[in-house]
Amino acid sequence: MKSLSILIDNNRKWAEQLIKKQPDFFRKLSLQQSPDYLWIGCADSRVPANEIVGLLPGELFVHRNVANIVSHTDMNCLSVLQYAIDILKVKDVIVCGHYGCGGVKAAIEDTSHGLIDNWLRSIRNIYHRNAAEFVSFSTESDKLNKLCELNVREQVLNVANTTIIQDAWARAQKVAIHGWIYDIADGLLTDLGVCIESKNDLAR
């Protein structure tokens, strides 16, 4: 247990610092949350959602899984999305991938990784569907990074095509879905320019 006690100590210091700046911070937060954004990102420890966009507890609703996949049969992800849209009424959903994603890399490797290969199967499909786009890349890391970007675009479309988002738009609730990518090598985010705000955007 000794090794974990440092985490509890860190927690005490972290809470103290926040209270120093704003004495009623936690009391206020305990009454309600009203985040403006939903973040769907990779579970990778190097991509901590709140930190990289400078947001405090209460400011970002977060769902993370391996390779930031939005699957229409994943009750976990869909439940987070439904709560974010129907109850919290977030106006922006950010799907954020990252370069060098181990999940994306594993998806196109020929070796077996066990159960997770089932989860990553849809990314392998993206790779095969877009095979022509990869011809011009000479290095494996360039190929991987291109696939990381294509995966974000695919997951943005998957969010937009959920009944949750379709229903929100049908009742004129404003929701935009954005595709971003994070570079773990320099800590910077890039907007991939795939914002979808309506059924019309999807049809394009």
Please give the size of the binding site for Co ion, defined by CB under 5 A.
Answer: 4
Residue whose C-alpha is closest to residue 35's, from 108, 104, 118, 92: 92
Contact 96, 182 (CB under 8 A): yes
Q: Considering the rule CB under 5 A, would residue 42 count as an interface residue with Co ion?
A: yes
- 46 catalytic? Reply is yes
Residue whose C-alpha is closest to residue 42's, from 113, 85, 94, 112: 94
H helix or E strand, kind and range, residue 60: strand 60-65
Q: Considering the rule CB under 5 A, would residue 147 count as an interface residue with Co ion?
A: no
Q: Considering the rule CB under 5 A, would residue 40 count as an interface residue with Co ion?
A: no
For residue 100 the two structure tokens come to 């060098």
Q: Considering the rule CB under 5 A, would residue 44 count as an interface residue with Co ion?
A: yes
Report the C-alpha gap between 66 and 93 in whole angstroms: 18
DSSP state of 67: T
Which residue among the candidates 42, 77, 96, 148 is catalytic per the annotation? Answer: 42
| Residue at 89: amino acid letter | K
- 44 catalytic? Reply is yes
Q: Quick one: which segment of 39-47, 88-96, 107-115, 124-132 binds Co ion (CB under 5 A)? A: 39-47
116 vs 157, beta carbon nearer Co ion:
116
H helix or E strand, kind and range, residue 189: strand 188-191
Q: Considering the rule CB under 5 A, would residue 123 count as an interface residue with Co ion?
A: no
Residues between 91 and 110 with contacts to Co ion, criterion CB under 5 A: 101, 103
42 vs 150, beta carbon nearer Co ion:
42
Positions marked active-site: 42, 44, 46, 98, 101
Binding site for Co ion (CB under 5 A): 42, 44, 101, 103
